[in-house]
Amino acid sequence: MYLEEHAMTKPKQSVTERQQYWLDHIKAADASDGSLVEYAAAHDLKVKDLYQWKTMLSRRGLLAGRTGKRAFVSVAARPVSVSPTSCTITLRNGVRLQFAGALDAATLGQILSAAGALP
């Protein structure tokens, strides 16, 4: 999943002994059932070092499925459905406003503005 699979799609990069050491630890940590924090504690490593090496090796393209390039991802928002509801506002002078129907922020703002304009 890491260097071996990634080498199929990219020309093989030379990996230093130190990089291979951290690649092996990151691979083992990802395969373990625990978190990076737990893995680091169990192997007498600093979790900060694991995170730094994981980031650095990912940016260099040495971890499969990760690249150093960042890209925008298209996201489509679904329209928010407005559920029918009712609203009653009683003013200090005893006037009561009632509204029934789809109530969203814009409609509620219009109702409150109208209520504030009443004598």
114 pLDDT higher than 60: yes
Q: What residues contact 80, with CB distance under 8 A and at least 6 apart?
A: 104
Predicted confidence band of residue 68 (pLDDT cuts 50, 70, 90): very low
Over the stretch 6-28, which tens digit does the pLDDT of each residue have? Answer: 444 444 568 899 999 999 999 99
d(CA 23, CA 68): 16
- Residue 5 confidence (pLDDT): 45
Mean pLDDT of the chain: 76
What's the whole-model pTM score? 0.45
d(CA 4, CA 6): 6
